[in-house]
Amino acid sequence: MAAAGPSVFLLMVNGQVESAQFPEYDDLYCKYCFVYGQDWAPTAGLEEGISQITSKSLDVRRALVWNFPINVTFKSTNPYGWPQIVLSVYGPDVFGNDVVRGYGVVHVPFSPGRHKRTIPMFVPESTSKLQKFTGWFMGRRPEYIDPKVVAQGEGREVTRVRSQGFVTLLFNVVTKDMRKLGYDTGPVDSQGIVGPSPAQNILW
């Protein structure tokens, strides 16, 4: 690191989309993408991903396990617009059409460490009963034009949703230089490195 202080901080997220609970549905896959503010830029890893299709486990948990890895690193100058992960889960309906089974969003945890998040999922509702029926019949349920809207507050008032199911995510968060830039996001770590003074003995 140069003598001058850092000009960006880094946020590394790795983890996985572990599993989901959708008691009514089976054979689902999920997509994830990150939504972040203007001051953020991904530097490494994938911002988007689409998982395999998974079927329910046969035990009593009836869990849908993807264990789909997430690994992305962001750099930023401003915590505003902190990345959020947007999940959308799809699966076949009774007629075999691919329909959406849930949207969900959660912020990447702020503090470094291991975090487990269970996020409730929801789907947009049809505007009328008739629409609902035809949607069901034709296999074209209402979907968000852009799943990223679930990460925004704007414009949501026009939609109605129904919640169904949960997705469990695991995050391992590592941040760099946050504290140096004056952002305190968690408990002081055991090393307690504050300020620009580097750790005494880094040997490798």
Partner 1 sequence: MNPKEEKMKIITEEFLENEEDAPVEGLKSSKLPRQKRKKQPPTGGPGEMVSGKAQDDIQEEPVKQEPETQLLSMKAGRGPRNLPPIPASSRTSFAEFSMRERMREKLQAARSKAESALLQEIPTPRPRRLRSPSEKELETEFGVEPSKEALRTQQEDGSQSYSRVKHHEFIRKIKTKPLVPPGFPSAEDAYNFFTFNFDPDPEESEEKPKATAADKDTQEEEAGEEEEPPMQEGVNKTDEEELLSGKDAEEFLVGLDQTAADFVDVRPADYESVHVRMQREKEILFIPSRFTVPTYKKLPENVQPRFPEDEGLYIGERPEVSRTNQNIVENRLLTQEPERGWFGDDGRILALPNPIKPFPSRPPILKQEQAVHVELEMLYKKAVNYVTCSQHMIGAGEAPGIFQLDIDISGLIFTHHPCFSREHVLASKLAQLYDQYLARRQRNKAKFLNDKLQALRNAVQTGLHPEQPHRSLDTTQKAIHEYKAEIRQTRKLRDAEQEKDRTLLKTIIKVWKEMKSLREFQRFTNTPLKLVLRKEKVDQKADDDAYEAEIQVEVSELLEEHLEDYEQKMEEYRMAYQHWKAWRKAQRAKKKKKKQAVVEHPDEESEEPCPEAEPCPGEEPVKPVPPELTEQAVIEQQVRERAAQCRRRSGEPVLVPELSLAGSITPNDQCPSIVFLLVFVGVPFSFEADGSNQLILMTSGKVSNSVAWAVGEHGVPLSPPLSQQIIGFRSALKRADAISSIGTSGLTDMKKLAKWAAESKLDPNDPNNSPLMQLISVATSGEAYVPDFFRLEQLQQEFNFVSDEELNRSKRFRLLHLRNQEVPEFRNYKQIPVYDREIQEKVFQDYEKRLRDRNVIETKDHIDAHRAVVAKYLQQVRESVINRFQIAKHHFLLSDLIIEEEVPNISILGLSLFKLAEQKRPLRPRRKGRKKVTAQNLSDGDIKLLVNIIRAYDIPVRKPTASKFHQQSRSSRTFSEKCAASPAPHSPTHGVDYPLGQVLVRPFVEVSFQRTICHTTTAEGPNPSWNEELELPFRAPNGDYSMTSLQSVKDDVFIHVFDEILYDVLEDDRERQSGIHTRIERHWLGCVKIPFSTIYFQARIDGTFKIDMPPVLLGYSKERNTMIERGFDSARSLSEGSYITLFITIEPQLAPGETIREKFDSQEDEKLLQATEKFQAECALKFPNRRCLPTVIDISGKTVFITRYLKSLNPPQELLDVYPNSPQATAELVACYVSLIPFLPDAVSFAGVCDLWSTSDQFLDLLAGDEEEHAVLLCNYFLFLGKKVWLMMGNAIPEGPTVYVLTWEQNHYLIWNPSSGHFYAQYDTFCPLKSVGCLIGPDNIWFNIQRYDSPLRMNFDVTKPKLWKSFFSRNLPYPGLSSVQPEELIYQRTDKAAAAELQDRIEKILKEKIMEWRPRHLTRWNRYCTSTLRHFLPVLERSQGDDVEDSHRAELLKQLGDYRFSGFPLHMPYSEMKPLIEAVYSTGVHNIDVPNVEFALAVYIHPYPKNVLSVWIYVASLIRNR
Binding positions for partner 1, rule: CB under 8 A: 5-8, 38-41, 76-78, 80, 124, 126-128, 130-131, 134-135, 138, 140-146, 149, 154-159, 181
Q: Which is nearer to partner 1, 41 or 50 (CB)?
A: 41
> What are the CA-CA distances from residue 109 to residues 30, 114, 172, 175 (Å)?
20, 9, 9, 11
Q: Look up residue 136 and give its DSSP letter.
A: H
> What are the CA-CA distances from residue 87 to residues 103, 135, 165, 170 (Å)?
6, 22, 12, 13
Q: Which is nearer to partner 1, 26 or 177 (CB)?
A: 177
| Distance in Å, CB of 80 to partner 1, minimum | 8
Q: Which is nearer to partner 1, 9 or 171 (CB)?
A: 9
| Distance in Å, CB of 181 to partner 1, minimum | 6
Return all residues near 203 (Cβ < 8 A) that are at least 6 apart. Answer: none
Q: What is the CA radius of gyration of the chain?
A: 20
Helix, coil or strand: residue 28: strand
Q: Which is nearer to partner 1, 92 or 168 (CB)?
A: 92
Backbone angles phi, psi at 93, to 5 degrees: -95, -170
| Tokens (6 digits) for 17 | 């989309």
| Distance in Å, CB of 180 to partner 1, minimum | 10
Q: Which is nearer to partner 1, 77 or 164 (CB)?
A: 77
| Distance in Å, CB of 22 to partner 1, minimum | 21
Beta bridge partners of 17: 68, 169
Helix, coil or strand: residue 160: coil
| Distance in Å, CB of 155 to partner 1, minimum | 3
| Tokens (6 digits) for 107 | 């912020």
